Structure 1
Amino acid sequence: MKYGSTIILRIAVILIGLVVLVLCIVAVPALAINATINNPNFAKPLYPVLIGMCLAAIPFFIALFHTWKLLKCVDNGNAFSTLAVTALKKIKYCALGVAGVYLLTSPFFYMLAQKDDAPGIVVICLLFMGASLVIAIFAAVLQRLLREAIAIKTENDLTV
């Protein structure tokens, strides 16, 4: 395949990574400082939420790296290879890791929603968990289909 066939996906991966990086470096500390200055009681349940968000960024960036590797495989014509299956497996585990981090921080989201009297904060947590689980399930299905396609391809190559 041509190198440009996945250029839009590569641009999207870069932009998403930059947005999350800027949020972790700029927005999260600014929110923590603002909460500490304006309302110290509000800051106590906010800190675990912000720390959880930054911790969830670690498997997120690992998944972006493996997504980049998967796109490289597609560009090189190796979409049906064990390297692609491995990349999908790692993306699946990273998505499960992100969902796990948000599951562990969900009580703090609830406490934060109780202090602020805003139930939408809990919905944000559920949205992050749900999106991560959807990505994990999608990666697992693609991994299984790709593994079966590789087995069929190998069988056909041996038949000839």
Structure 2
Amino acid sequence: MKPETLFLKIVVILIGIPVLALCIFLVPALGNVAAKLLPEFASIKYLVFIVFYASAVPFYFALYQAFNLLRYIDKNEAFSELSVIALKKIKYCAITISSLHALVLPFFYLFAEKDDAPGVILLGLVVPFASMVIAVFAAVLQKLLKTAIDIKSENDLTI
């Protein structure tokens, strides 16, 4: 399984690079745009910074857990409690990201109202929805893995 997991490890690393670039280059520009579009909310610029930078922390932690999960697969420890714990952490990170971005959805409505662009609201729903899909997927995998571990331990005891 080494070549497949190596490829996935590289993909996990490559996923982190564009998000880092977005945090460095796009988030300050988004904060400035938000401040210009909604001058009556002077602190919106800082809210944009807080939400995006605060959501980057669980994002990178989830990537780290995914990397760990791939390491467990390499060591033939995929069906272990460590994998279940990693999936649980990924699930909580996805829920955190979704919650943070859901908190700023009212501001997407204000942007859409100000710019007369209703598509902005749909754009604001992308990150919370995608994060919740990841959280549900991780929860399903976590339960499935836990069940497989329980079955494996029962079989080990009966043999």
> What is the aligned partner in structure 2 of residue 70 from structure 1?
69
Q: 2:39 aligns with which of 41, 45, 51?
A: 41
Q: Give the whole-Å Cα distance in 2 for the aligned partners of 1:8 and 1:136.
A: 23
Q: What's the CA shift for 1:42?
A: 8.3
Change (3 A) 1:12 1:45: farther
Change (3 A) 1:5 1:111: same
Q: Secondary structure at the match of 1:41?
A: coil
- How is 1:11-160 mapped onto 2 (pairs within 5 angstroms)? 11-33=10-32, 41=39, 44=42, 47=45, 48-160=47-159
Gaps of 5+ in 2: none
Q: What's the CA shift for 1:44?
A: 4.3
Q: Give the whole-Å Cα distance in 2 for the aligned partners of 1:146 and 1:57.
A: 27
Q: Give the whole-Å Cα distance in 2 for the aligned partners of 1:40 and 1:152.
A: 57
Could you state the TM-score of these two structures normalised by the residue count of structure 1?
0.89
1:45–1:108: 8 Å Cα contact kept in structure 2? Answer: no
> What is the aligned partner in structure 2 of residue 10 from structure 1?
9
Q: Which amino acid aligns with 1:119?
A: P
2:30–2:48: 8 Å Cα contact kept in structure 1? Answer: no
Work out the percentage of aligned pairs sharing the same amino acid.
49
2:95–2:132: 8 Å Cα contact kept in structure 1? Answer: yes
Gaps of 5+ in 1: none
Instruction: Give the aligned CA root-mean-square deviation in angstroms.
Output: 2.1
Q: Stretches of 4+ moved more than 4 A in 1?
A: 33-36, 42-46
Q: Deviations along 1:88-133, whole A, 9 cap, x unmatched?
A: 0000000000110011111112112222222222112211111001
